Structure 1
Amino acid sequence: MKKHFLDLFRYNEWANNRLLITLEDSQVKDDKIMTLFSHLLSAQIIWINRIKDLPTSPFPLWEQYKLNEIKSMNEESNRNWRDLIEKHPRETFEEMIFYKNTKGTKYESTLREIISHVLNHSTYHRGQVMSRLRELDFAPPVTDYIAYCRQK
């Protein structure tokens, strides 16, 4: 499981980086794109902070950040998720994580469920960003998992 999650987070990093390069190179200025990408990364950081029992308030879920802030958030998220998974003491990720959502409601989920959610959530919102790029007549980068696997 550890190898699998590390690979998926490497893919997530690769896909986010490709998107960042496209936004920078194309000089895309679109509030919807920036808000979606900001949300994607805020959520990644919020979830890692929940797992580590750290405050989540510095990263509002729907705040819009500038491209340089998004880059920094992406680097921080990548580093923290990779570190969490690499240093995890077991091959399974079934321990329960107790946390509160943004409204203060208490929940519990396994680490495996949270990791799967974070990765799926990121893919979903990257897809929304890709659709918006197409609407604005920009060519979105290829971020398919299989494309990532082919270039490894």
Structure 2
Amino acid sequence: MKTILRMMDHLYWADGRILDALEASHTKDAELLKLVRHVAVAEQVWLSRLQGKDSTQYALWEEAEGLTAIRQLFEANAEQYHSYLEELGESALDQMISYSSQNGRSFQTSIRDILLQVLLHGQYHRGQINRALRMEGAEPAPVDYITFSRL
């Protein structure tokens, strides 16, 4: 549990860093903004499943409303994940969660694997965002875990 909590702290930090880099770049790339919104909404989707709620109302690939709205979504996600994890014990990590995917398929996945999915999915897309920023000539955000761990 300690490792997952630490990795979640990294996720919150990295989400903020990538948003800061996007703001500093003044990018107008709609696909790049859609991608960062996707990360935030995916976090929200998985959280709703962990909470036993339906997630099918969330659209994963819509146009972004702007970085301010995305930042607010990331902040709300962080607050809700923190509350969820605060009440979760080590033994609960292997509990199976039943849920439906966005296209209606039924699955069962452990809480541990869902949390790892959230962590790895975000890092994958932050890498894509950094690459796009670099290609635009903007400064990418250093979001590696080791950078976070040195703070």
Residue 129 of structure 1 corresponds to 129
- Letter of the 1:12 counterpart: L
Moved over 6 A (4+): none
Q: TM-score, normalised by structure 2?
A: 0.94
Stretches of structure 2 lacking an aligned partner (at least 5 in a row): none
1:150 pairs with 2:150: yes
- Letter of the 2:74 counterpart: N
SS at match of 1:98: strand
- Kindly state the Cα deviation for residue 113 of structure 1 after the two structures are TM-superposed: 0.5
C-alpha separation in 2, matches of 1:29 and 1:13: 24
- Letter of the 1:51 counterpart: L
Q: After superposition, where does 1:30-69 map in structure 2 within 5 Å?
A: 30-65=29-64, 66-69=66-69
SS at match of 1:97: strand
Q: After superposition, where does 1:92-131 map in structure 2 within 5 Å?
A: 92=91, 93-131=93-131
C-alpha separation in 1, matches of 2:58 and 2:67: 15
SS at match of 1:141: coil
Alpha-carbon deviations, 1:92-148, whole Å to 9, x = none? 300000000011010000000100011000000111101110111111011110000
Identity of aligned residues (%): 31
- Letter of the 2:15 counterpart: N
SS at match of 2:128: helix
Residue 140 of structure 2 corresponds to 140
Alpha-carbon deviations, 1:30-52, whole Å to 9, x = none? 11211110111110000100111
Mapped contact 2:54–2:100 kept (Cα < 8 A)? no
C-alpha separation in 1, matches of 2:145 and 2:85: 19
Q: TM-score, normalised by structure 1?
A: 0.93
Stretches of structure 1 lacking an aligned partner (at least 5 in a row): none
Mapped contact 2:54–2:99 kept (Cα < 8 A)? no
C-alpha separation in 2, matches of 1:29 and 1:23: 10
C-alpha separation in 2, matches of 1:59 and 1:34: 17
C-alpha separation in 1, matches of 2:130 and 2:38: 15
Instruction: Compute the RMSD of aligned alpha carbons.
Output: 1.1
Alpha-carbon deviations, 1:57-82, whole Å to 9, x = none? 44201112211110111001111111
Mapped contact 1:5–1:85 kept (Cα < 8 A)? no
Mapped contact 2:56–2:101 kept (Cα < 8 A)? no
